[in-house]
Structure 1
Amino acid sequence: MLPPPPLPPAPAQSPPQSLPKLLFCFLGLQLSYLTWGYMQELIMTGEYSPTPLSPTGRFPSAAFCVFSNRLLAVLLGSSLVRVRHGALFPPGSPPLAAFAPPALSNTCSSWAQYLSLRFVSFPVQTMFKSSKVLPVMAVGRLLKGARYTRRQLLEAAGITLGVLVFSASSPGKSDAGDTEVPGVALLVLYVLADAFTSQWQARVYERFGRDNCDQYQMMMGVNMYAICFTSLGLVLSGELPAVLEFLAANPAALRHNAVTAVASAAGQLFIFYTIREFGPIVFTIIMTTRQMLSILLSSAAFGHEVGAGGALGAALVFGAVASKIAGDGRRPEKKG
């Protein structure tokens, strides 16, 4: 999933007018991303019919999962760019090279996110995602010289502590023994790459201006490169023959990837619409709710246990997120 680019706030709406839209955004985001998370775990942890090149019956390639998501996203993004601007590359738009770095980092983060489910449970992965606020701040400091308040640093530390408590209290899950080290390493790669992606995208917006680069152009440009990176990865890794053989023997796996791609693309559209209509604070609240519901859904569907320590870690994470939401809501809006 691409990180949501910031959009200008919409004019205030009266409660009777905004309530149906808010309900539409809430249900759309929940349905899209709960489906996406469930299907992601189903693909990477489910057992299909074994094939000669994949005798375990596990889906053989995280890279293909990323490829299928990006393929639909680039088709959708290019269609939206053409409708909005009348051309795929309107005058003044950024050069394609500007989208290469975030495409590479986004591909790496998505690949690590999928593959980590072989080693850690989905609830642990979901909690770990919340800790990316700290690397986002660090990369922002390195790339743009950003400064943060003491409150923001304390909130980030609280989120990180909660993630550590939750992860340490969760039962181990690994295809490679009793250690979660490979899964944690993949999650670290995910949050670092994802932090770079969002900060570089913000840098592109600032450099070229939002009149010359909107969220649809970003969606198209990043996914165009991501298609190339994932295709190259499938070929060089030798996974492509295994994937084709596996999909031919398991049509359900192809359907599962298709559903995941649709849910991911629909989720991106709901992200853009929600931020445009209600702003980032409401969007963050909805997505925090989605994280909690994802953990409940995953625990019920796949039998994960969340004990007292896990509950304490989750409370620390969501408490720090709630504090951040409240602080952002009170912070005066900067006028550009």
Structure 2
Amino acid sequence: MEAHGGAASGLKRVLVLAFCVAGIWSAYITQGVLQETLSTKRFGPDGRRFDHLAFLNFAQNVVCFVWSFIMIKLWSKSSEGRAPLFKYCGVSITNTIGPAMGIEALKYISYPAQVLAKSSKMIPVMLMGTLLYGVKYTIPEYICSFLVAGGVSAFALSKTSSKTIRKLAHPNAPLGYGLCFLNLAFDGYTNSTQDLIKSRYPKTNPWDIMLGMNLWGTVYNALLMFGGPFFFANWPYANGFEALKFCRENPEVAWDIFLFCLCGAVGQNFIFLTISRFGSLTNTTITTTRKFMSIVVSSVISSNPLSLKQWGSVIMVFTGLSLQIFLKWKRKKA
């Protein structure tokens, strides 16, 4: 009887894990397709591009704020011991600027290149750890870093197909990769500060963080996109007024943006579920494999042909990431 109960419990756990994998993969792969569509497709009879890509971050802030507010009202019982909203005021600045840089990079490099560049988060982490804090890493960890750095570098230096380049708004690989690495730097600060808030306020749950970050993100992006163009004629950031006008003239864009935001909100909830049930290491494994599948989907569905050298670079990067995950699993088991 006890064995039967254990088997049933094990089956339930496997089914929940499969549900989490399916949720994360479907939400973020679909979001990636929509992101690439919005950054490369021409809309309307005039064949215009949607140039205000940072508007996607503003829209996602609004949708995720509403989503987290609903989740808190449905599931959270008490606000006692949770971080107050003003605690997210500072860290939300980097959380506004960083993702905007990452999505703006799609004007200059392809979606697979952006995914690869943003997968190399371990490199600045290890570099800063070594230079600033004297952290000693193992030889296998350096091998992981070498594989990822080498793969990203080889992909950046390899020749991109003319078909892919024609789809870009302003092809400029150095600028595109530079924006991605700045995005990683800002993300590093954002993530560490979120961890600090969580440690100081242990009763803070993921929806609280989601609410606080997206509340201030909505405020900052609204000021940048609707306040900046109002006061400055040549405003360099996304113009919210023009973005809304473009959406009114091309309802297809508005629908794609809404689906993009919805995928982000749903995906975050699956990540919360995965971390709460299986831990952050399992979540890292799932999201890493999702990134690889996003590149495959982009190559097949979005007609972004990759050369054999580029596929070799992709495999090199994800071999390094897989080895890093294996080392973490090994340490956890030990």
Normalising by structure 1, we get a TM-score of 0.85
Residue number in structure 2 paired with 1:210 = 202
Cα 1:317–1:21 shift into 2, 3 Å: same
Amino acid paired to 2:169: D
Tell me the distance in 2 between the aligned counterparts of 1:137 and 1:70. 30
Once residues 297 and 97 of structure 2 are traced to their aligned partners in structure 1, the CA distance between those partners, rounded to angstroms, is: 26
Do structure 1's residue 82 and structure 2's residue 73 form an aligned pair? Answer: yes
More moved, 55-64 vs 309-318 = 55-64
CA deviation after TM superposition for structure 1 residue 181, in Å: 2.3
Determine whether 1:94 maps to 2:83: yes
Alpha carbons of 1:170 and 1:220: their partners in 2 closer, same or farther (altered >3 Å)?
A: farther
Asked if the contact 1:170/1:305 (under 8 Å) is kept, the reply is: no
CA contact 1:124–1:170 (8 Å) conserved in 2: no
Quote the offset at 1:91 in angstroms. Answer: 3.1
Q: Residue 17 and residue 182 in structure 1: after superposition, are their counterparts in 2 closer, same or farther (change >3 A)?
A: same
Q: CA deviation at 1:85?
A: 3.5
Residue 218 of structure 1: how far off its partner (Å)? 0.8
Q: Check the 8 A contact 2:82/2:202 in 1, yes or no.
A: no
Quote how far apart the aligned CAs of 1:185 are: 2.0
Q: 1:201 maps to what in 2?
A: 194
1:219 partner amino acid: M
Amino acid at match of 2:308: A
Q: Which residue of 2 aligns with 1:41?
A: 36
In the alignment, structure 1 segments of 5+ residues that lack a partner are 1-11
**Aligned equivalents of 1:67, 1:320: Cα separation in 2:** 33
Check conservation: 1:39, 1:260, Cα contact below 8 A.
yes
The answer as to whether partners of 2:247 and 2:254 remain within 8 angstroms in 1 is: yes
In 1, Cα distance between the equivalents of 2:311 and 2:248?
42
Shift of 1:153: 3.8
Q: Looking at CA atoms only, which structure, 1 or 2, has the larger radius of gyration? A: 2
Gaps of 5+ in 2: 1-6, 230-238
> Aligned to 1:166, which of 131, 145, 155?
155
Task: Name the CA shift for 1:13/1:169 in 2 (closer, same or farther; >3 Å).
Answer: farther
- Aligned AA (1:319): T
Q: Distance in 2 between matches of 1:182 and 1:237?
A: 23
AA at the equivalent of 1:95: P
Structure 1 residue 240, shift from structure 2 partner: 2.3
CA distance in structure 1 between the aligned counterparts of 2:324 and 2:125, rounded to whole angstroms: 14
Residue number among 207, 212, 216 corresponding to 1:221 in the alignment: 212
CA–CA distance in 1 between the matches of 2:268 and 2:13? 21
Write out the 4+ residue segments of structure 1 that deviate beyond 4 Å after TM superposition: 137-143
Q: Distance in 1 between matches of 2:122 and 2:141?
A: 10
**Which residue of the partner structure matches residue 149 of structure 1?**
137
Measure, in 1, the Cα distance between the counterparts of 2:122 and 2:76: 33
Are the equivalent residues in 1 in contact too, given 2:81–2:202 (CA < 8 A)? no
Percent identity between the aligned chains?
A: 25
Alpha-carbon distance in structure 2 between the residues aligned to 1:66 and 1:137: 28
SS in 1 for 2:43: coil
Shift of 1:313: 1.4
Q: Name the SS for the 2:83 alignment partner.
A: coil
How far apart, in 2, do the equivalents of 1:214 and 1:136 lie? 25
**Offset at 1:61?**
1.3
Tell me by how many angstroms 1:280 deviates. Answer: 2.4
Distance 2:72 2:141 in 1: 36
Which amino acid counterpart does residue 101 of structure 2 have in structure 1?
A
Aligned residues: 313
2:242 paired residue number: 242
Contact 1:132–1:191 (CA under 8 A) maintained in structure 2:
yes
Structure 1 CA distance, aligned partners of 2:126 and 2:95?
17
CA-to-partner distance for each residue in 1:173-229, whole Å, 9 max, x for gaps? 3533x53222122112211111111111112222x1422x22111111111110011
Report the CA distance between 1:112 and its aligned residue. Answer: 1.4
Matched, 1:18 2:10: no
Is the 1:136–1:199 Cα contact (8 Å) retained in structure 2?
A: no
Displacement of 1:328? 0.7
SS of the aligned residue for 2:35 comes to helix
Residue 186 in structure 1 maps to residue 179 in structure 2? yes
Distance 2:268 2:123 in 1: 23
The structure 2 residue matched to 1:125, chosen from 114, 117, 125, is 114
- State whether residues 170 and 306 of structure 1, in contact with CA within 8 Å, keep that contact through their aligned partners in structure 2: no
| Distance apart, 1:58 and its partner CA | 1.1
CA distance in 1, matches of 2:28, 2:91: 22
Q: 2: distance between equivalents of 1:310 and 1:86?
A: 50
Selected match of 1:115 from 81, 91, 104:
104
Alpha-carbon distance in 2 for matches of 1:222, 1:311: 36
1:175 maps onto 2:175 in alignment: no
Task: Give the alignment partner of residue 71 of structure 1, picking from 40, 62, 66.
Answer: 62
